[in-house]
Structure 1
């Protein structure tokens, strides 16, 4: 964590309930500057620092270009999306699960908490909140994603109801270096730990306020996965009333 401390103000905290998470976020948002827009992301593994999928999966540069071009070439058979805008193409590829230079974020801490806690993990989880990349002095986004040499914040076109439901944002990455290396001492990171023993309880609390697979993935797949989760026997132990 020394690198983070040198480049941006870095703090760690812990929450045991959704209410505590909201309060931590509210307090830090106020102390940073209410006008600064946060980027928030949930990670299932506390020790993992966010980076884009193309680097996380160690995809070679030649392969990255090849799969991106192949995806772009086939888009017209499936979608009327504008393939001349390479950022839109990359957002579409990211949305459909192709590893890209984009990394998914949200502006909603509850959405991030859901993604931190869903699925199986033997590790504590983390909610990362970053106040950075919103500098008015930042250079304009280049037309070609391959030309970036810093991390850019990218507000995506709403190509899917999922992006809207998840309050989605992206960062675009030039390499696989930790995101903290691109921040400055004007920026801030808050990393909130969620104990692995509390993951299911947090998911149940989120479900009670309408943050779940059905609302974040508003389609039949999301509905089916949510109903399957509601019948998980492990939820009986935390007091969820099953329909």
Structure 2
């Protein structure tokens, strides 16, 4: 997927900062707090497919077995029979197990980081997907909406989800009330604060009830829920340099020696922008 007619294509750092905060003023609470979450991709052509879908093969049938064995062979420090499957899905996604979860962030600057972190892709446009998570969850079955309303929350936690549906595979068959449409739906939930990486990335996950559906395909049927902000390849170095100076780097977002090494490698790489 390349550029779309309705994409917002920015031409400067200032315009980018303005566009990611569009629609952020909320008069009822008198704060600039947008109900958007963000996902940054270094290549505009990348689809919103999950790591489970990228696994290929009969992946819908493998989903249960992946988690079952992850729990079975997990280290003793991570075994906790009292935790729900939703907690385990968050842990599994965090550690790279193929799942139907997609990573998002509340921070547009964290999304910018992931658009510009890979210098090998500075020859192509990047994109930030912005998704209106509050309106998205208005499309949930009543049973799930009730859980959010009773908690006075806009986003699920693992514990809240467990009260409504025990297993991720049961999302598609969740009972509907009379008159509710039997259509796929998308929900968002916040992972537990497993480590500094999740906390610093201001992370949350999206989950589709249909394990075979790509999120971008679902969004085509809900155009009011999302927008895309294109960062042209010519702008990537400027965005990257300004994020680095703002301390939005691997040192913060991927705490530890691996993140430090990634930051240093880029920090000392020569710029590929044309000299003025």
Q: TM-score, normalised by structure 1?
A: 0.82
Aligned to 2:148: none
The answer to whether 1:231 aligns with 2:273 is: no
Aligned to 1:178: 214
Q: What is the Cα deviation at residue 151 of structure 1?
A: 1.8
Give me the whole-angstrom Cα distance separating, in 2, the residues matched to 1:220 and 1:83. 32
SS at match of 1:187: helix
Unaligned runs of 5+ in 2: 145-160, 173-184
Per-residue CA deviation, residues 76-123 of structure 1 (Å, 9 max, x unaligned), is 424255564111111111111111011000011110011012212242
Distance 1:214 1:109, change over 3 A: same
Larger Rg over CA atoms: 2
Q: TM-score, normalised by structure 2?
A: 0.73
Q: What is the Cα deviation at residue 136 of structure 1?
A: 8.6
Aligned to 1:43: 41
Q: Aligned match of 1:216 in 241, 247, 253?
A: 253
Q: What is the Cα deviation at residue 170 of structure 1?
A: 0.3
Which range moved further: 120-129 or 43-52?
43-52
Unaligned runs of 5+ in 1: none
Number of residue pairs the alignment of both structures matches: 232
Q: RMSD in angstroms over aligned alpha carbons?
A: 3.1
**1:1-243 alignment, distance < 5 Å:** 11-30=6-25, 37-59=35-57, 60-81=59-80, 84-119=83-118, 120-121=120-121, 122-132=123-133, 133-135=136-138, 138=141, 139-140=143-144, 141=161, 142-149=165-172, 150-173=185-208, 174-183=210-219, 187-234=224-271
Give me the whole-angstrom Cα distance separating, in 1, the residues matched to 2:216 and 2:62. 26
The answer to whether the 8 A contact 1:52-1:176 is kept is no
Q: What is the Cα deviation at residue 217 of structure 1?
A: 1.1
Distance 1:130 1:236, change over 3 A: closer
